[in-house]
Chain A
Amino acid sequence: MFYLVRLAIRNIGRNKRRSVLAVVSVAISLMVIVFAQGFIGGFVASFVKNATKNEAGHIRIASKKFEERSRFYPVAYNVAAPDSIIASIQRDPAIASDIALITQRITFGVLLSFGGNSRSAIALAGDPAKEERLLYLQKSILPPGRYLSGRREIIMGSALAASLHFRVGDTVRVMTSGSDYALHLKKFVITGLFSTGLNVFDDMMFQINIDDARDLLAMGNATQQIVIMLGDYRKADKVAARIRSLIPDTSISVTPWTKIGDTYTTVVLVQRVYGWIYIIIALLGAFIISNIMMMVVMERRKEIGILKSMGFTRREILTMFLFEGMALGFVGSLAGAALGLGLVAFFHVHGLDLTAYMSRMSIPLDNVIYTTLSAAGLAYSIVLGTVLSAFVSIAPARQAARMNVVDAIKSV
């Protein structure tokens, strides 16, 4: 068996140009496949981030009663000591490095009062600096407004403001029922109006500082939600379980994004669709290899004839060509994977900014895609490349094996 391998390798070396060509084309296909993997991974990560950042994030810590009634955004069921919970999470060596962002939020329904009328709206209260990386509403602010910086400031959806005849600089009275079941009022100044292009934001929402919300809702130091974003969205279940073990209070629940809403199902859907595309790319790469192998066999008819006349069996010829194909495929896969890895690593750190391709710059989505690195994926690609190369070499190898000796020797 081994002599066949040696022969195969020697053959590869003999026709360097052809081998290089084969290796290069496999390498290019593999590079594309590995990059595609990283890109799809990054795209899905971006999708998950955008789908969850406005609501529960990758992981949400909130009271069980809140989660049950989350549809109503209740303010009466809260997390009592959020700062200490956050501190304990940040101190825990097992997960501290997985956390990209951890912040407190309160979302609640209110009545905005103007003139003699009131209109209902939804308040998003959080840490303005951190919300710049989550809600992204600072991207959508219409000039001459500005984003939030201090207390008692509010930014509001442009359509909501228009329906209430509010403008930048106006005072808004926000009235709502607090966690103590009493009615409370607080005045805010509009520093900016945002137009995201999405009705759900522009018609119904406004953002304020969470400390103001705590005052308004008589919440003291408690919070309604602790929202966590991870570096890798795939770790949510594991990290959530770990956080669960850090919080002894059983009235509090720690929920990963996979368990909230339809996002998880959508992600699986998206991955399946892209999975198909991925396979097609791989097949295309394989097709090229088969192309080359067929030509190789065609060109070496004479050589095959000689080998056969020397006594090589059909099976040996088949095996030899198969090895050639596999070896070429393997080398090409390694090279391609290495190149692809380089690309993925680069974009993993620097990110691919797609903002320029979005039709509106003001959409509050994160448009930067960070490719994902996966050792398993890489290994899979290399194996895929090699196996496909071998597979695709079968037909031409068979053809070689079946050649008529005499005709073969006669060919030029």
Chain B
Amino acid sequence: MDMILKIALRNIGRHKRRTFLSAVTIAAGLIVFILIDSTLTGIDRMSIDNMITLSSGALKIQTVTYDKEKNTFPLNYGMGEELSKVRAALALDKRVLHATRRTQFLGQLSNYDETIPVVGTVVDEAADTMVFGLKPYITGSYFGPDNGREILIGRQLAQDLGVGVGDNITLYALTKYDSRNADQFRIAGLLNTADPTINHSGVFITYTAANEFLDLENTVSELDVSTKRNSNLGVFSHDVKEIQATLQHQFPSLRVNTFLDLGAGVLELTRAKRVAGIIFMAVILVIAVVGIFNTVFMSVYERIREIGVLRAHGLKPRDITFMFVLEGFITGLFGSALGIMVGSLANMYLVVTGIPMEKMVGKIATASYGISGNIYGEWNLPAMGIAFCLGMLVATVAGIIPARRASKIQVTQALRFA
């Protein structure tokens, strides 16, 4: 046993190039696997992140009554005194970053020719930018200091109405007391985001404007919360759900929804894409396995003469097979380790810095979809573990069959093999 190990090690040393090639093949397979898995996960995560930063926030808190009636966008059932208490509770959790108030209303936008129904959102212009990321997607400008008559609308909406930045547009809505109001607002900016609902029917005004226009009296229909991002979706979801549970327990008169509750549709599509992703991962694994197998397989055959020599020295076929297995194991270890190391380094870059979306899919994304920003990778340790073991396994096992075959050849034949 001992001797075989020594021989195995020495063989590896002797056939450095071959060993290196095998190891590199294994490493390459692993690196590609890790990076593609991370990128695909990152793409999915991007959709979820977009949803969080554009419409749902990590958590959305409303009163139970409002939650029931939310399809009619009432201006009643707002959060009263609970608001300050919730804010205080949120401040205690270190994972929470910011919270901002918002109120939704139904209205119509008109350029006198056409009237389009819209869902309006009243925002607190300063705090909103801490929780939601609308600003980067604005053509024109965000709300200024004198925003009582300013409005932000979706780009598609603006196009349908034939208006642009700086134009005036009439917004109609019912006030909190069901009185009709209509007034002219100046379009400060157009929004082109990754959320088509915002682009097609999104309208934003400030509380300053709404208190006047809707007789809102600062009614708050929801409190949206942002939390620290975690590169691992599982951990992130867990944290958010924990915060949800604590708050829900403390405030039974409120309904606390997480992005998971609110984004069922987006999450389903993500899962569907995941299936395709998994199939690709399997494909890559297959190729990597084939490559490794190939390399090891071939290297065994190249050494038939050597096997003959060993046999002539009295080594049994079983020992020879075992020697190759060992060599394979060591090569596999080296290759897998190399793969994991380099893969991890590359993945770290992906996780921390990310790839800009434009590089991957070109201008078309930013132009029409309003997607900008980076795809961030994610650490998938179980997958890396599986890949590591698989690499080792294949390298170890790949040598068995040819070694067995080779060691069964008559010694004299083997020696003559060229």
Contact = CB atoms under 8 A, between A and B. Distances in A.
A43 B369 contact: no
Contact of A291 (B160, B265, B291): B291
A200 B265 contact: yes
Interface in B220-237: none
Contacts of A299: 302
A307 B32 CA distance: 39
A285 B290 CA distance: 9
Contacts of B279: 39
Interface in A1-39: 17-18, 21, 24-25, 28-29, 32, 35-36, 39
B43 A273 contact: yes
B116 interface: yes
Contacts of A269: 361, 364-365, 369
Interface in B16-41: 17-18, 21, 25, 28-29, 32, 36
B408 to A, nearest CB: 16
Given A25-B294, A28-B290, A197 B275 contact: no
Interface string A286-301: 0110011011001100
Contact of B287 (A32, A198, A276, A357): A32
Contacts of A21: 294, 297-298
Contacts of A285: 287
A298 to B, nearest CB: 7
B369 A199 contact: no
Interface in B185-244: 196, 200
Nearest to B375: A273
A265 B364 contact: yes
A29 B360 contact: no
A284 B150 CA distance: 55
B372 interface: no
Secondary structure call for the B interface: helix
B299 interface: yes
Nearest to B114: A69
A358 B264 contact: no
Contact of B288 (A119, A198, A284, A295): A284
Contact of B280 (A18, A277, A292, A367): A277
A354 interface: yes
Contacts of B298: 18, 21, 292, 295
A18 B17 CA distance: 18
Contacts of A363: 268
B301 A295 contact: no
Given A119-B72, A203-B71, A365-B272, A277 B294 contact: no
A204 B25 CA distance: 55
A358 to B, nearest CB: 7
A288 B290 contact: yes
A265 B25 contact: no
A266 to B, nearest CB: 8
Given A269-B361, A269-B369, A359 B268 contact: yes
A277 B39 CA distance: 10
A197 B361 CA distance: 30
Contact of A18 (B25, B68, B301): B301
B291 A265 contact: no
Nearest to B278: A357
Given A25-B291, A358-B271, A295 B21 contact: yes
B362 interface: yes
B286 A268 contact: no
Nearest to B200: A71
A272 B363 CA distance: 12
Nearest to A27: B290
Contacts of B89: none
Contacts, number: 119
A96 interface: no
A249 interface: no
Q: Categorize the interface residue count of chain B.
A: 35 or more
B265 A287 contact: no
A35 B287 CA distance: 13
Contacts of B369: 262, 265-266, 269
B268 A298 contact: no
B368 interface: yes
Contacts of B265: 197-200
A360 interface: yes
Contacts of A294: 21
A198 B43 CA distance: 21
B345 interface: no
Contacts of B97: none
A102 interface: no
Interface in B347-386: 360-362, 364-365, 368-369
A380 to B, nearest CB: 18
A359 B271 contact: yes
Contacts of B278: 357
Interface in B232-287: 264-265, 268, 271-272, 275-276, 278-280, 283-284, 286-287
Contacts of A43: 276
A372 to B, nearest CB: 14
Contacts of A36: 280, 283
B103 interface: no
B295 interface: yes
A57 B339 CA distance: 46
Nearest to B35: A280
Contacts of B368: 262, 265
Given A21-B298, A36-B280, A265-B369, A199 B36 contact: no
A120 to B, nearest CB: 8
B377 to A, nearest CB: 14
Contacts of A357: 275, 278
Interface string A258-270: 0000100110110
Contacts of A250: none
Nearest to A303: B418
Nearest to A354: B275
B287 A295 contact: no
Nearest to B267: A359
Nearest to B283: A32
Contacts of B196: 262
A291 B294 contact: yes
Interface of B: 17-18, 21, 25, 28-29, 32, 36, 43, 68, 71-72, 116, 160, 196, 200, 264-265, 268, 271-272, 275-276, 278-280, 283-284, 286-288, 290-291, 294-295, 297-299, 301-302, 360-362, 364-365, 368-369
Interface of A: 17-18, 21, 24-25, 28-29, 32, 35-36, 39, 43, 71, 119, 163, 197-200, 203-204, 262, 265-266, 268-269, 272-273, 276-277, 280-281, 284-285, 287-288, 291-292, 294-295, 298-299, 354, 357-360, 363, 365, 367
8 contacts: A17-B301, A163-B68, A199-B265, A273-B360, A280-B284, A284-B288, A291-B21, A291-B295
Given A17-B301, A295-B295, 6 more contacts: A39-B279, A163-B68, A268-B364, A298-B17, A358-B268, A359-B271
Can you list the 9 inter-chain pairs with the closest CB atoms, starting with the nearest? A288-B291, A272-B361, A198-B265, A357-B275, A265-B368, A284-B287, A25-B294, A28-B290, A197-B264
